[in-house]
């Protein structure tokens, strides 16, 4: 990140919040619906691959491109490594292509680095990684939009699409985030992501499905593997799909994925504090299905749960300063603000066209200032009685911190593990009462 891409904010303290009382908190274990985890991910992957008709017809020595995206999917490195080994056993030459749209600032070297941080390296996967932002045109949609495809993948004899199937952070429809999205936005690279998002919501809802169909027909896509995770982030299902069945597989597995997505079991929260956000956690930094905010013009925001004030304390190291999603928050720390890579943020948000999501919230001096300000402005007369929830991230909802007023509503959705205690901060104003790891 260039020094010119990094902002510099003042350490602002608002004196009216200096004596704001903060609620005490308890640790709570939330109960989520959990589908059984697969006992052997590698065996399930091999079983899925053995069903492929196209690979059975492929000549020995064929080059096979495998897609890897920018999300931290717990089981996917093993799935990809197993696929590489299986393809080699069949006499093919597998290689990995980064399939992540404009992530990593739309730079080939940055996308390779992102893959390495997620566990995808030539050494760990057993094959080379061919990273390039070059694309080739393989068709045109009915609206006249060019259909782009990763150049390296287009030159392969076959492409194996691998992705997690899950709810999208912005849209509710039959097919959301999964194999079709990987074909269109992932393999479409930055050009594809820009083209699909150019029409805003209509681009995702109307253009993406047609784009994926065109790419599946025109590109050498031979097979796909869909992964569904349970609430513990373990693989609950791994299924293969022939190219013509990709959309149907997305639609069939999406309800299973949604049923295993953890949520906060409250209709209303005065203050939600998110310790870390990042692109490795969610495409929007924090899952909009958890925070109840989507904030896309022209699209309904259901506010479920209704969160009056949302505070972000920092970014994950894996985010590399990409603070996409901060526009959904009300407060953030100066340390987080000064760590931002504005180029990566602006590139990502302008590609998606949802520019509201990189608007910066109120920036205050430290975590203590941020939490006090959020409590003082949450529409609660007594800050000590605020309905407060603190989470590590929207991906980590097994153990959370709750104020007693919120913990009273848990019921069968969770259990309190300890006695109420005050929030504590160190001399630098950093919160030391953190969510359990």
Task: Name, in order, each residue with C-beta under 8 angstroms of 15's C-beta and a sequence gap of 6 or more.
Answer: none
In a domain, 382, yes or no: yes
Q: Does 170 lie in the same domain as 294?
A: no
Both 381 and 269 in one domain: the answer is yes
Distance CA 211, CA 104 (A): 23
Report pLDDT digits (tens) over 324-381.
Answer: 999 999 999 999 999 999 988 898 888 777 788 889 999 999 999 999 999 999 999 9
CA distance 400 to 290: 13
Structural domain of 229: 41-259
Same domain, 165 and 73: yes
pLDDT at res. 288 = 85
- On whether residue 421 sits in a domain, the answer given is no
Report the alpha-carbon distance of residue 437 to residue 421 in Å, rounded. Answer: 18
Is residue 426, in this structure, part of any structural domain at all? Answer: no
430 inside domain:
no
> What CATH number corresponds to the domain at position 168?
3.40.50.11440
If asked whether residues 105 and 7 sit together in one domain, one would say: no
| pLDDT grade for 299, boundaries at 50, 70 and 90 | low
Task: Report DSSP letters for 347-380, one per residue.
Answer: HHHHHHS-GGGG---EEESSHHHHHHHHHHTSS-
Looking at the DSSP bridge assignments, the partners of residue 333 are: 364
Determine how β-strand 135-140 pairs with β-strand 146-150: antiparallel
Instruction: Give 284 or 26, the one with higher predicted confidence.
Output: 26
Contacts of 3 (CB under 8 A, 6+ apart): none
266-270, 302-306, 344-348: which has the highest mean pLDDT?
266-270
- Is there a single domain that holds both residue 126 and residue 220? yes
Q: How far apart are CA 186 and CA 222, in angstroms?
A: 16
pTM summary value: 0.77
**Both 221 and 332 in a single domain?**
no
The domain tally of the chain equals 2
- State how far the alpha carbon of 112 is from the alpha carbons of 56, 106, 153, 367, 374, in Å: 30, 11, 15, 33, 38
pLDDT range class, residue 184, cuts 50, 70, 90: confident
Span 261-290, average pLDDT: 91
Write down which residue in 259, 293, 315 finishes a domain.
259
Q: Mark whether 220 and 331 lie in a shared domain.
A: no
Mean pLDDT of 84-111: 90
Interstrand relation of 158-164 and 63-68 (parallel, antiparallel or unpaired):
parallel
278 within some domain: yes
Same domain? For 253 and 278 the reply is no
Q: What is the pLDDT of residues 195-224, one digit of tens each?
A: 776 666 666 667 778 888 999 999 999 999
Q: At what angle do helices 246-259 and 208-218 cross, to 10 degrees?
A: 130
Roughly what angle, to the nearest 10 degrees, separates helices 76-89 and 41-50?
A: 50
Select from 214, 237, 259 the last residue of a domain. 259
pLDDT exceeds cutoff 70 at 169: no
| Domain final position from 215, 244, 259 | 259
241 lies in some domain: yes
- H helix intervals, 127-169: 151-154
| Average pLDDT over every residue of 13-42 | 93
Tokens coding 50: 């053995």
Band (104; pLDDT cuts 50, 70, 90):
confident
Q: What is the pLDDT of residues 367-418, one digit of tens each?
A: 999 999 999 999 999 999 999 999 999 988 999 999 999 999 999 999 999 9
The residue length of the chain stands at: 437
Does residue 269 carry a pLDDT above 60?
yes
How far apart (Å, rounded) are the C-alpha atoms in residues 251 and 148?
A: 24
Backbone angles phi, psi at 82, to 5 degrees: -65, -40
Per the domain annotation, does 179 fall within a domain? yes
pLDDT at position 72 is 75
Average confidence (pLDDT) over 13-38 = 93
User: Is 376:16 a contact under the CB 8 Å cutoff?
Assistant: yes
Q: 286 with 325: CB under 8 angstroms?
A: yes
Q: Kindly state whether residues 232 and 275 are assigned to the same domain.
A: no
Whether residues 22 and 126 fall in one domain: no
The answer to whether residue 151 sits within a structural domain is yes
| Other C-beta atoms lying within 10 Å of the C-beta of residue 351 | 22
The reply to whether 319 and 365 lie within a common domain is yes
Q: Quickly count: other Cβ atoms within 10 Å of residue 234's Cβ.
A: 16
Could you tell me the two tokens for 436?
């359990």
pLDDT at 271: 98
Q: Do both 242 and 306 map to the same domain?
A: no
Q: What value does the mean pLDDT take over residues 295-323?
A: 84
CB of 67 closer than 8 Å to CB of 95: no
């Amino acid at each position: 990140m260039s020094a010119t891409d990094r902002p510099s904010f003042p350490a602002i303290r608002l004196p009216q919040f200096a004596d704001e009382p903060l609620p005490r908190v308890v640790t709570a274990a939330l109960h989520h619906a959990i589908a059984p985890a697969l006992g052997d991910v590698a065996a399930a992957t091999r079983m899925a691959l053995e069903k492929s008709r196209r690979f059975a017809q492929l000549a020995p020595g064929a080059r096979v491109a495998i897609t890897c995206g920018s999300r931290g999917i717990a089981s996917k490195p093993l799935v990809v490594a197993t696929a590489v080994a299986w393809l080699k056993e069949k006499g093919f030459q597998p290689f990995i292509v980064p399939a992540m749209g404009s992530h990593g600032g739309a730079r080939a070297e940055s996308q390779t680095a992102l893959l390495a941080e997620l566990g995808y390296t030539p050494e760990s996967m057993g094959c080379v990684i061919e990273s390039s932002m070059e694309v080739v045109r393989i068709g045109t949609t009915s609206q006249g939009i060019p259909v782009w495809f990763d150049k390296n993948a287009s030159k392969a004899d076959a492409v194996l699409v691998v992705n997690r199937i899950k709810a999208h952070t912005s849209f509710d429809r039959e097919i959301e985030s999964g194999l079709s999205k990987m074909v269109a936005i992932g393999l479409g690279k930055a050009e594809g992501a820009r083209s699909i998002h150019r029409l805003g919501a209509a681009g995702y809802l109307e253009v993406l499905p047609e784009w994926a169909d065109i790419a599946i027909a025109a590109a050498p896509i031979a097979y796909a593997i869909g992964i569904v995770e349970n609430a513990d982030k373990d693989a609950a299902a791994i299924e293969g799909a022939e190219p013509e069945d990709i959309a149907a597989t997305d639609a069939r597995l999406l309800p299973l994925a949604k049923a295993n997505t953890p949520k906060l079991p409250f209709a209303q929260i005065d203050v939600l504090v998110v310790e870390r956000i990042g692109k490795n956690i969610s495409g929007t930094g924090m899952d909009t299905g958890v925070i109840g905010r989507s904030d896309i013009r022209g699209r309904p925001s259901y506010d479920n749960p209704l969160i009056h004030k949302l505070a972000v304390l920092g970014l994950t190291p894996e985010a590399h300063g990409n603070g996409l999603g901060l526009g959904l928050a009300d407060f953030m720390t100066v340390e987080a603000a000064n760590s931002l890579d504005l180029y990566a943020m602006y590139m990502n948000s302008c590609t998606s066209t949802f520019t509201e999501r990189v608007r910066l919230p109120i920036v205050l001096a430290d975590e203590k200032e941020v939490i006090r300000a959020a409590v003082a402005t949450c529409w609660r007369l007594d800050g000590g009685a605020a309905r407060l929830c603190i989470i590590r991230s929207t991906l980590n909802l097994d153990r959370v911190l709750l104020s007693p007023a919120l913990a009273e509503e848990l019921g069968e959705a969770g259990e309190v593990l300890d006695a109420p205690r005050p929030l504590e901060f160190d001399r630098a104003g950093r919160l030391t009462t953190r969510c359990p790891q």
